[in-house]
Amino acid sequence: MQELPKVCVIGAGSSGITVCKSLQDKGIPYDCYEKGSDVGGNWRYKNDNGLSNIYKSLHINTHRDRMEYRDYPMPDWYADYPNHEPIQKYFMDYVDHFGLRKHIKFKNGVAKIEPQDDGTYLVTSEKGEKIFYDAVIVANGHHWSPRWPEPDFPGKFNGKIIHSHDYVDPEHPIQLTGKRVVVLGMGNSAMDISVELSRPGVAKKVFLSSRRGAWVIPNYLFGKPLDKQTELLPPGTPFWLKQFLFGTMLKIGVGKMEDFGLPKPDHKPGEAHPTISQDILVRLGRGDIKYKPVIQEYNGNKVKFADGSEEEIDAIIYCTGYNVKFPFFKPEFISAPDNHLPLFHRTFKPDLNNLFFVGLYQPLGAIMPLAEFQGKWLAEYLTGNYSLPTAPEMQKQIQDYEKKMKKRYVSSARHTMQVDYEDFLYYMQKELKAGKKRASKSLQTLPVPSKAKYKHSGKQNSSNGKSEPRKKSALAKV
């Protein structure tokens, strides 16, 4: 019987923990490294990992049934769109139910990963451990490195500027109660923060500013959760048909964006990542929030907008997205310039058979069930039950998909990782089935051989910076 490879999983957020579960189900030895003291990633409020941060009022914008892991349904008494507290508890319960904690190294992130000549990876943890692994699964998330406007707006602003990543509530990290605030952006965070600040007794004035318009999608339409209604369309439904049906629903159920003071979107529904908010249009209609075009320049306490208007402003919140980064890799090995990293089904890098990515996409829906399937898929691959297509075949599929997405979506770093929930899951399932057939026709040798457990690893010696070899009895610990 062939020995299974030893795997390093980076991150114990919603993607990392479900990968751990799949590896454990197949008996694949692994360690999971997590910078924080508990699981949950971005859904852990006041996470002590120094990277994740969510605002106090955050709720999911995908229905709980579409967010839950298929192996562990959410309690049916959960609200349709609960806030972060029950979601975090759900992740903690998931880990405890399947006994995953024993393999998670808490408060110990990955500092460095060095590819070795024999195909293994030397992983250095933040605590100085040096351990060899046969494969690495990256699940470090992509909502932790704030993206700022580039270039920044000209002039000097005398007020406070923060990124939405740092926003917690109207009092933290800066005082916004009674202030005049500009929220820059048209994504979900911008909608949520604008609505919260516009409540009576909070901000004095709230301006929503953006470069372009967007289609605002409500959580509920015709009395039903809107994203649940999309399940009625079978996977593979032509985009033009989905666009027509969705556009018609918005036209009838919501109306024109211009009627609420927003600019007319320069794209059709479905050609940009959706902006979801049940409340923003009402707040705009009431005048609690006023829309402004993009900032043109700063002038002390004043902000000039592209329409020539000026407003005295106390604070600005940039809701301008995130950069995709892998600080543990050298950039020449793995990087994502402008958030672009070509991957086969957003999972496999064609030229590397033992480095994988999970949760690295922007779905029209929730990440969790997709990451869960990726974990199961990788477990089948690592146990020899699935075989990949050839590298040229994978490259062609990647190129065809990216060409299709570029044709459909507005040009933006946000859309380099866009996937449609149902279609993405369907085609992953289809590929897994095809790969199992390929594997059954071969000798079913493991694509990633077990080498790491026989190699020396050590802990960093702080006195001279050299690695001290461990005793042989500790080499095979997993």
Q: How far apart are CA 162 and CA 183, in angstroms?
A: 10
Tens of pLDDT, residues 138-181: 999 998 899 999 889 999 999 999 999 999 999 999 999 999 99
Tens of pLDDT, residues 247-305: 888 888 889 999 999 999 988 887 777 799 999 999 999 999 999 999 999 999 999 99
Under DSSP, the state recorded for 237 is -
303: closest CA among 151, 157, 183? 157
Q: How far apart are CA 252 and CA 350, in angstroms?
A: 45
Asked if the model's pLDDT at residue 474 lies above 60, the reply is: no
pLDDT for 463 equals 31
- Entry pTM: 0.91
Q: How far apart are CA 148 and CA 58, in angstroms?
A: 22
pLDDT for 460 equals 42
Percent of the chain with pLDDT over 90: 73
324: closest CA among 210, 416, 402? 416
Instruction: Say which range, 10-24, 30-44, 56-70, 437-451, has the weakest mean pLDDT.
Output: 437-451
pLDDT for 301 equals 95
Q: Strand 110-115 vs strand 290-293: parallel, antiparallel, or unpaired? A: unpaired
Q: How far apart are CA 40 and CA 296, in angstroms?
A: 38
Report phi then psi at 295, rounded to 5: -60, 135
Asked if the model's pLDDT at residue 409 lies above 90, the reply is: no
Domain segments of the chain as ranges: 7-144+322-454, 148-318
Longest Cα separation, the chain? 73
Contacts of 239 (CB under 8 A, 6+ apart): 270, 408
Domain 148-318 has CATH 1.10.3720.10: no
Q: How far apart are CA 173 and CA 207, in angstroms?
A: 19
Question: What would the two tokens of residue 366 be?
Answer: 């929730």
Give yes or no on whether 7-144+322-454 and 148-318 have one common fold: yes
Q: How far apart are CA 296 and CA 313, in angstroms?
A: 14
Locus of tokens 């993206």: 147
Domain 7-144+322-454 fold is FAD/NAD(P)-binding domain (3.50.50)
Of the pLDDT bands very low, low, confident and very high (cuts 50, 70, 90), residue 107 is: very high
